[in-house]
Chain A
Amino acid sequence: GESVGLHLPTLSVQEGDNSIINCAYSNSASDYFIWYKQESGKGPQFIIDIRSNMDKRQGQRVTVLLNKTVKHLSLQIAATQPGDSAVYFCAENIWSSGNTPLVFGKGTRLSVIA
């Protein structure tokens, strides 16, 4: 769903530890989910996506888990590095609907402690 009126939640993680960022989505019809990383003053950067026919997808140091039953999405970052410090957004969409806009979650600020 869309973010309204709240400051971003913050996750502080020690360098080298694993990070888990969570997201609850709103539309049960959504079947395509994306995680974005946004650094200060920049546009969102694609990290990883997942379709609803999967419950897990892995990339380089990142894993996305999807639980359609409870409409929950998570992003796991392995061996978190200082360069991972940013705001992370999940976004949802309906794949079959074509050119429809993404709906962004509230975002989580990840701070990596060196």
Chain B
Amino acid sequence: GAVVSQHPSRVICKSGTSVKIECRSLDFQATTMFWYRQFPKKSLMLMATSNEGSKATYEQGVEKDKFLINHASLTLSTLTVTSAHPEDSSFYICSAQGPVTYNEQFFGPGTRLTVL
């Protein structure tokens, strides 16, 4: 099956700093990537949809200036949490989809962000 990686797997940062999370499709071209966040014992909540070469589409309530998404290539999307605060601490998960995957989305292993 298609493989999606995320880096880093865990990150701890100080309040006010910015953190970049990478999502890579390793063996297929991902025309679309999705970013989710997940709080403990909760379901996945969609943050934004990112199509390669286009601006991301953000879900209602998600600040686009705080969560910067870049999808500059068919194998890489990045999520930058700017001026992170403790309430941004969460598990961030990406998924990727492409022409060869049809409608199936493949998920990355997630990134645990802790903001002190």
Contact = CB atoms under 8 A, between A and B. Distances in A.
Interface of A: 2-3, 7-8, 32, 34, 36, 41-46, 49, 89, 93, 95, 98-107
Given A42-B109, A42-B110, A43-B108, A99 B97 contact: yes
A101 B34 contact: yes
B67 interface: no
A102 B43 contact: no
B1 to A, nearest CB: 8
A98 B103 contact: yes
Given A32-B103, A100-B49, 6 more contacts: A2-B45, A3-B43, A8-B41, A46-B106, A95-B103, A104-B44
A105 B43 contact: yes
B25 interface: no
Contacts of A101: 34, 46, 49
A99 B31 contact: yes
Given A43-B107, A98-B103, A89 B43 contact: yes
Contacts, number: 59
B104 A49 contact: yes
B32 interface: yes
B44 to A, nearest CB: 5
B112 A41 contact: yes
Interface string B48-68: 010100000000000000000
Contact of B43 (A34, A46, A107): A107
B105 interface: yes
- Specify which of A2, A93, A101, A102 lies most central, judged by the most chain B CB atoms within 10 Å of its CB: A101
Given A95-B103, A98-B103, A99-B32, A44 B93 contact: yes
Contacts of B107: 36, 43-46
A32 B32 CA distance: 18
Given A3-B42, A44-B44, A44-B93, A102 B105 contact: yes
Interface in B87-110: 91, 93, 95, 97, 103-110
